[in-house]
Amino acid sequence: MTPRVYLERDGGIAVIVIDNPPINAGSAAVRQGLMAAIETLRNDDTLEGAVLIGAGNTFIAGSDLREFGQPLTEPQLPAVIAAIEACGKPVVAALHGAAQGGGFELALGCDARVAAPGTVVGLPEVTLGIIPGAGGTQRLPRIVGIPPAIRMICSGERVLAAAALEAGLVDLIATGNLRSAAVAHARQLKGQKRLVRDRQVPPASSADVATATTAAPQAGKRRPAVQAAIDAITATAQVGFDDGLADERAVFQRLRVSREAFALRHQFFAERESAKHPSLGEATARPVERVAVIGAGTMGSGIAIAALDAGYRVLLLEQDAAALERGTGRIHAHYASRVQGGKLSASAAAACEARLQTSLDWADLASADLVIEAVFEELGVKQQVFQRIDALARPGAVLASNTSYLDLDAIAAATSRPHDVIGLHFFSPAHVMKLMEVVRGQSSAPDALATGLAVGKRLKKMPVLTGNAFGFIGNRLYAAYRRQCECMVEEGAWPEQVDAALRAFGFAMGPFAVADLSGLDIAWRMRQAQAATRDPQARYVHIPDRLCEAGRLGRKTGAGYYRYPEGDQGPQVDEAVHALIAQARADKGLQPRELGDDEIVRRALLAIVNEAALLLAEGVAERATDVDVVLVNGYGFPRWEGGPVFWARERGAAALQEDMLWLAQLSGPGFVTGDLRHLLTPEN
């Protein structure tokens, strides 16, 4: 087995190589190896200094998160850094790839940092419910000052090499061989220690600290780790370095075993697992450089922007000149606003727009490697589009539908090559939302699916593989969640109460505000499509249909579950909606009752959990944890709650079974209880 850490000699410089593939995670074995290497450096009089460097593609991309939920093995990282500081000889960190979390804390504990171009550094611990625990909150402020340290740590900011050099986080960017540059830099130090811990914290005005302190909780969703990080950073101006280190470590140790940290680690590993697809075997993605998007509406133009941002050449195709002009205008306005807001350079925006071709000529599809259909969500319309695509797209091109709930196999049947057809379900706005469902049809070829997943990664999405079923994973789960919320309104809750309770739990928006935002007619069409196959005995809530029949389709009509006065973007409670709901209850002979917020949240989550069990039994979702990835990345489920599967596993089998009996009784006829065993068994 390859040693985790080994020492090579370059003249009087020890080159300490960290070799723990794939990301050189800072595991217990790595820490032990580093301690042994530093001890060799300290005791060997022929060595005048050292370089720490990672084997493979990266420095240390972070600590081994699997250790965080267990008793930590000695030596812990602070002890390794203390040994580097006390060894009496300079140590230079040679950074490439990523130096994040504990990896960057280790680098900050060295005497100097040399980085390869393209290196990314940062301290993202708060995104995992903890704070830096090996001096990050104490050393970073000594380099950049307290306000920038608050911003960087509380947002988990990733800093590229050029910006890191400007901020003083690295001392040199290597123009040639990184190892050679780091060894040369170590020699230049001539045996002198230059420790960050010895620096004074740069003075900062109370106003600047207050501004950074106020902004940080907003960026961090006001989570406990954010406030703890602020406290640790601001303490650097009042306490000694060693006291600050001890206080930081105590907070880190407390937070790493908190429920929130466990939930965030669960989501981290769920996202990592969702990228693995053993069912595709050894299939490799087809090459894609030119993407055609059919439909220049809001969704189509958003997909085009996402593809342009990823470096693809994009054809935006429409059959209506006015629609194409509007779509092109949306794309130009997007890049103009990015430049104006300082988010993108003018040259980068121009390069993106230069890759865009717009056309009304369907024959232009012949040059595309991937064709993405983004037209009206109606089966007949999509089938006609795919007949035209089939006649014009080159052999081997992947043909993708952006359908959000229609039968992909029925769409693929309109072509002579269903093996090339997959679903790529983007979420609106397509250039912003991270989730992308890659839908497997009955005939979809493994390499076509692998292509969809690879494109999703290049688009910086979170691609999740799903089977072909009505609503796939996300919309199927959300429909069950929304139905349960509608049941609670029918029973006595008001829409604003349900929304408030679920926002307090942590959802980005409540279900009724979301419905107004997306348009009530979308779900109405889905219900109409399912009407013929719906169990006539099943409970059905007519309230959303009555809103649609009254012309209340949401924000776009100025009224839905809420009203939206002209010039005011915020939803307003509408007594007309209360009256409509009261009449719907009376028509069913229902006596309204009070529902507490705890019941609202519990029933909403149980509805998602139950539907997830059904999806897993049907094979629509490959892994239970894919449900958590979908809900967190696409539907505003609070990341710090881990996801509905994490929530269900916490409750335990007996309590969850009892919960489901309760939910079934409240939900009435037609409620189908899923087999919870599919959810409760961890994948590994």
More confident residue, 537 or 138: 138
Q: Which of 39, 48, 85, 125 is catalytic?
A: 125
Q: How far apart are CA 55 and CA 33, in angstroms?
A: 14
Exposure on the CB side of residue 549, measured as CA atoms within 13 A: 7
Same domain, 565 and 529: yes
What pLDDT was estimated at residue 633?
94
* Sequence-separated (6 or more) residues with CB below 8 Å from residue 523: 479, 482, 515, 544
Same domain, 459 and 479: no
More confident residue, 1 or 3: 3
What pLDDT was estimated at residue 522?
80
Please state the rounded mean pLDDT for residues 532-538: 84
What pLDDT was estimated at residue 8?
95
Looking up residue 314, the CATH number of its domain turns out to be 3.40.50.720
Could you tell me the two tokens for 278?
């053993």
- DSSP 3-state assignment of 641? helix
What pLDDT was estimated at residue 219?
63
Same domain, 395 and 493: no
Same domain, 233 and 156: yes
**Per-residue DSSP letter, 394:** P
Q: How far apart are CA 573 and CA 302, in angstroms?
A: 31
Please state the rounded mean pLDDT for residues 387-394: 97
pLDDT exceeds 60 at position 684? no
Q: Is 105 a catalytic residue?
A: yes
Could you tell me the two tokens for 681?
């068994």
Same domain, 537 and 629: yes
What pLDDT was estimated at residue 527?
83
pLDDT exceeds 90 at position 71? no
Looking up residue 498, the CATH number of its domain turns out to be 1.10.1040.50
pLDDT exceeds 60 at position 1? no
Residue 210: CB atoms within 10 Å: 11
Largest CA distance in the chain: 91
Q: How far apart are CA 299 and CA 445, in angstroms?
A: 26
pLDDT exceeds 80 at position 288? yes
> Is 482 inside any structural domain?
yes
Q: pLDDT digit string (tens) for 593-633?
A: 999 999 999 999 999 999 999 999 999 998 999 999 999 99
What pLDDT was estimated at residue 525?
82
Q: Which of 48, 105, 260, 490 is catalytic?
A: 105
Same domain, 211 and 308: no
Could you tell me the two tokens for 355?
């890759």
Q: Which long-range contacts (CB under 8 A, 24 or more apart) does 37-43 make?
A: 37/5, 37/6, 37/7, 38/80, 38/83, 38/84, 38/87, 38/91, 39/83, 40/7, 40/14, 41/14, 41/16, 41/87, 41/89, 41/91, 42/83, 42/87, 42/88, 42/89
Q: Using a pLDDT cut of 90, give the percent of the chain over it.
A: 84
Q: Which band of pLDDT confidence, cut at 50, 70 and 90, is reported for residue 518?
A: confident
Please state the rounded mean pLDDT for residues 334-357: 95
Residue with tokens 């894609």: 288
Please state the rounded mean pLDDT for residues 186-204: 93
Q: In what order do the strands lie in the sheet with 158-160?
A: 98-100, 120-122, 158-160
Please state the rounded mean pLDDT for residues 30-58: 95
What pLDDT was estimated at residue 276?
87
Q: What is the 3-state secondary structure (H, E, C) of 433-474?
A: CCEEEEEECCCCCHHHHHHHHHHHHHCCCEEEEEECCCCCCH
Q: Which band of pLDDT confidence, cut at 50, 70 and 90, is reported for residue 532?
A: confident
Q: Are 367 and 257 in contact (CB under 8 A)?
A: no
Q: Are 93 and 105 in contact (CB under 8 A)?
A: no
Q: Are 430 and 305 in contact (CB under 8 A)?
A: yes
Q: pLDDT digit string (tens) for 652-676?
A: 999 999 999 999 999 988 899 999 9
Same domain, 461 and 483: no
pLDDT exceeds 50 at position 157? yes
Q: Is 166 a catalytic residue?
A: no
Q: pLDDT digit string (tens) for 445-474?
A: 999 999 999 999 999 999 999 999 989 999
Q: pLDDT digit string (tens) for 207-238?
A: 999 999 888 877 666 789 999 999 999 999 88
Domain count, the chain: 3
Which bin fits 471, alpha (ψ -120 to 50), beta or left (φ > 0)? left
Q: Which band of pLDDT confidence, cut at 50, 70 and 90, is reported for residue 69?
A: confident
Q: How far apart are CA 422 and CA 408, in angstroms?
A: 7
Same domain, 366 and 494: no
What pLDDT was estimated at residue 48?
96
Could you tell me the two tokens for 440?
């497997």
pLDDT exceeds 90 at position 275? no
Same domain, 16 and 87: yes
* Sequence-separated (6 or more) residues with CB below 8 Å from residue 191: 48, 49, 89, 90
Query: First-to-last CA distance in the chain?
Result: 24
What pLDDT was estimated at residue 428?
86
pTM of the model: 0.90
> Is 262 inside any structural domain?
no
Mean pLDDT of the chain: 93
Please state the rounded mean pLDDT for residues 85-112: 96
Q: How far apart are CA 440 and CA 433, in angstroms?
A: 21
Looking up residue 88, the CATH number of its domain turns out to be 3.90.226.10
pLDDT exceeds 50 at position 475? yes
What range does the domain containing 190 cover?
Answer: 5-257
Same domain, 456 and 567: no
* Sequence-separated (6 or more) residues with CB below 8 Å from residue 343: none
